[in-house]
Amino acid sequence: MAGPNGRQARIEALRQQIAKAQSFSARSDEVLFLGIAEVDACLNAGLARGALHEVAAADHRSIPAALGFLLALTTISLPKKGRGNPCVLWPFARQTHPFGMPYAPGLRFFGLDPSRIVFVRCATARDGLWAMEEGLHLGGIAAVIGTRAKAMDLTASRRLQLAAEQAATPVFLLRNHTDSGPSAAVTRWRVSPAPSTRDEFDFTKNARFRVALEYARGGKTGEWVMEWNSDAHSLRLSSALGDRAAGEDRAA
């Protein structure tokens, strides 16, 4: 029997083995930096480009905020202008959504050009999954936005993750807040809204989110309040909750 030191060494070796098994191609051009040091550190040096990422709302009423944060991540993942102008593939279910359909003029707030989004109306979750996979296989798109159907099992999730990896194209899935099913996603976020910031004329300027990184493969979890800058198309940390928060405005 090995002593305490031996045991320590073995655990370390196992850890390395696990890290190796979990590691995925992490070349610099295939990693997306959110540009927030604290978050990028938790993400194990950025968000993998060719990977599956899931965003869930904290509760039913936070679904719009979760979608907003998901779109912010999508915009950050898109290649900078000048390198072609590839499209985003967005399959959606035919049936009604709790808060309605994405509104093209509203997408621009998150830096997405509505003409560069190809929506695919799907009758079933299976069709939606198929459309996402085919999009990754055939290429010609820069990112995939989708909804994680309740029926998506680990196998389907792994297939999608693999397809994303092979295509070096990110897939951002909106996950139902009650969904606790297993997933092959490399990151999982949970989002609720936070009071927005205002400009000097007291007009709403930047949307803010309370974001929890619940899982990051090879990384750490964390919790932040992030602010989407709709001019710079970037996220940054909000210094503290409550600076320029709702209370002040009401008092004003």
Partner 1 sequence: MTTGGWHLAAVNSRAAALGLSAGDLLADVRARVPSLQTRAAQPEKDRAALVKLARWCTRFSPYVAPWPEKDERAGSSGLIFDITGCDHLFGGEAALLREAIASLKRLGFTARGCIASSMGAAHALAKFGGNFETIVPDGKNAEAIAPLPVSALRIPDKTAATLKHLGLKTIGHLLPLPPAPLAQRFGKLLNDRLDQALGRAGESFTPLLPHAPYRASMVLAEPISAQEHILKLTEKLFMDLAPVLERDGKGARALRLTLFRVDGETTELSIRLARPTRDAAHVVKLFSLKLDALVEELDAGFGFEAGRIDVTQADRMSPRQAAIAADPAFESEQKLSLLIDHLGSRLGLENVLRAHPRDTHIPERAVVLKPAARISPWDEEDLPIRPLLMLPCAEPAEVMAVVPEGPPRQFRWRDVPYQVAHAEGPERIRPEWWRDSESRTRDYYTVEDEDGRRFWLYRDGSYGTDARWFVHGVYA
In the complex, the residues that contact partner 1 under the rule CB under 8 A are 61, 64-65, 67-69, 71, 83-87, 89, 96-97, 99-110, 113-115, 117-123, 127, 130-131, 134-135, 138-141, 192-196, 198, 203-204, 207-208, 230, 246-247, 249-250
For residue 64, the tally of other CB atoms under 10 A from its CB is 16
Looking at beta carbons only, is 17 or 239 nearer to partner 1? Answer: 239
Nearest residue to 187 via CA among 68, 63, 92, 51:
51
Q: Which of helix, strand or coil describes residue 14?
A: helix
Least distance CB 86 / partner 1 (angstroms): 5
Q: Residue 214 corresponds to which amino acid?
A: E
Looking at beta carbons only, is 35 or 140 nearer to partner 1? Answer: 140
- List C-alpha distances in Å: 155 to 114, 129, 160, 179: 32, 12, 9, 16
- Report which secondary-structure segment, H or E, holds 121: strand 117-122
Least distance CB 9 / partner 1 (angstroms): 49
Residues 6+ apart with CB under 8 A from 150: 125, 176, 179, 181
Least distance CB 128 / partner 1 (angstroms): 10
Nearest residue to 147 via CA among 102, 116, 114, 103:
102
Least distance CB 125 / partner 1 (angstroms): 13
Please tell me the total number of residues recorded for the chain in this structure. 252
User: Which tokens is 34 given?
Assistant: 């959110």
Least distance CB 30 / partner 1 (angstroms): 18
Looking at beta carbons only, is 64 or 222 nearer to partner 1? Answer: 64
Looking at beta carbons only, is 230 or 234 nearer to partner 1? Answer: 230
Least distance CB 17 / partner 1 (angstroms): 37
Looking at beta carbons only, is 41 or 138 nearer to partner 1? Answer: 138
Looking at beta carbons only, is 158 or 198 nearer to partner 1? Answer: 198
Least distance CB 159 / partner 1 (angstroms): 15
Q: Which of helix, strand or coil describes residue 126?
A: helix
Q: Are 110 and 228 in contact (CB under 8 A)?
A: yes
Looking at beta carbons only, is 3 or 105 nearer to partner 1? Answer: 105
Concatenate the DSSP letters of all residues of 62-96 into one string: GHHHHHHHHHHHHHHHSPPTBSB--EEEEEEESSP
